[in-house]
Chains A and B, each alone.
Chain A
Amino acid sequence: METLDFRFDSKPVPQAADPALCGVVGSGNLEILVQAGAQPNACEVSIKTSARGFASTWQAVLASFAASHPAGGTRIAINDMGATPAVVSLRLAQVLAEYQGGGQ
């Protein structure tokens, strides 16, 4: 297992449902928990992943997410069981929509 921590600048996100959760820690999948964070213009991400050695891939996927979505003011915790970057991006968008109250 590898533990990774990142911080990205991002526009503040309006929060409706705190906390928000999506996904399951199953093979090729991950779960993401979004809670309110301390800094309104930044999102802090903490990852526990079963796949070692993918820090630069996580960095790229998360940076792209934080740039293209308003995700500031959040703490994002991830438990990962080998999800591909496409699945990670999908789940991030899904959980953020739920956090904003647009889930389901």
Chain B
Amino acid sequence: MSLALAVRKSWFEATARTRVAGLLDAGSFQEILPPARSQPSPHLAQLELPGAFDDGVIIGSGRLDEKPVFVVAQEGQFMGGAVGEIHGAKIVGLLRRAAQEKPAAVLFLIDSGGVRLHEANAGLIAISEIMRAVLDARAAGVPVIALVGGSCGAFGGMGIVAKLCSAILISEEGRLALSGPEVIETVAGVEEFDSKDRALVWRVTGGKHRYLMGDCAMLVEDDIAAFRSGAVEFLAGWAEPAPSVAHLRAGQQMLENRLAAYASYRDGLQVWAALGVAEPESVPLLDRDSLVAVKEGLPT
């Protein structure tokens, strides 16, 4: 094992609290509603399921390279990071506060399968409130940066939330999509999508694919320090644009072009070939720096 690998602290394997501690300037994190003062989910208790003291999400403020930032971190190990009523209310409250207090950014550490189905409508409403709050914070000039690299990725409603953020930083291990692979297979059949084929799942939803497609602004190593330096670098070169109809129309046109170009393809390999990648079959084995070089060499 190389020295670089030996000192790396995996983002994928870390808990939400470890990610926050390593992402921000040392000792700067101030948690809002910490475990001793937060409340576990009453819905889970009704269903006879143990809750978590913080309902699976950590919110607060801190500093990133000296700049004041707000942070949301979902804990993927608790109920798949799914959004329940209290979990969602904590996120919405922090985003609304960001729109008022205007920190340099909100760092949104997404690790979630989407709505917590146990909480049904309360979870769905929470997701829609998060969407609105992300857009309100951005309209107030506060960048909201999604960091995706946990075991649950960003799926369902949280996949949409990720795409509503100013930008997404993702690792190869990260995944981003709307319907999860198992959901697609259950609804449309195994001939449509084989969720047991892990390599296929990553070729269609994984960080490298999302980065090549331009869905994510930055591809980073699966390393807490790499997410930190990536976030610092990204924010240094970013000014949150004012919301505009022209921007929305351009986004819509991009999606229509994508649908026209790739809708018939079955696999990331075909998409990468169409994007102009010379050896698409080599992409899954490339390290981060080589893949960034491939992306930068693509025809635009």
Contact partners of A31 in chain B: CB under 8 A: 35, 52-53
Stretch at the interface among A18-26, A53-61, A62-70, A86-94: A18-26
Contact at B50–A1, with CB atoms within 8 Å?
Answer: yes
B75 is an interface residue with CB less than 8 A from chain A: yes
Contact partners of A29 in chain B: CB under 8 A: 77
Contact at B51–A79, with CB atoms within 8 Å?
Answer: yes
Residue of chain A at shortest CB distance from B76 = A26
- The contact of B50 among A33, A35, A81, by CB within 8 Å, is A81
For chain A, give the interface size range.
10 to 19
Q: Nearest-CB distance from A16 to chain B (Å)?
A: 15
A44 is an interface residue with CB less than 8 A from chain B: no
Q: Mind listing 27 A-B residue pairs with CB under 8 Å?
A: A1-B45, A1-B49, A1-B50, A19-B34, A21-B17, A21-B36, A21-B53, A24-B15, A24-B52, A24-B75, A25-B50, A25-B78, A25-B79, A27-B77, A29-B77, A31-B35, A33-B35, A33-B36, A35-B36, A48-B51, A49-B50, A50-B50, A77-B53, A79-B40, A79-B51, A79-B53, A81-B50
Q: Which residues of A contact B (CB under 8 A)?
A: 1, 19, 21, 24-27, 29, 31, 33, 35, 48-50, 77, 79-81
Q: Which residues of B contact A (CB under 8 A)?
A: 15, 17, 34-36, 40, 45, 48-53, 56, 75, 77-79
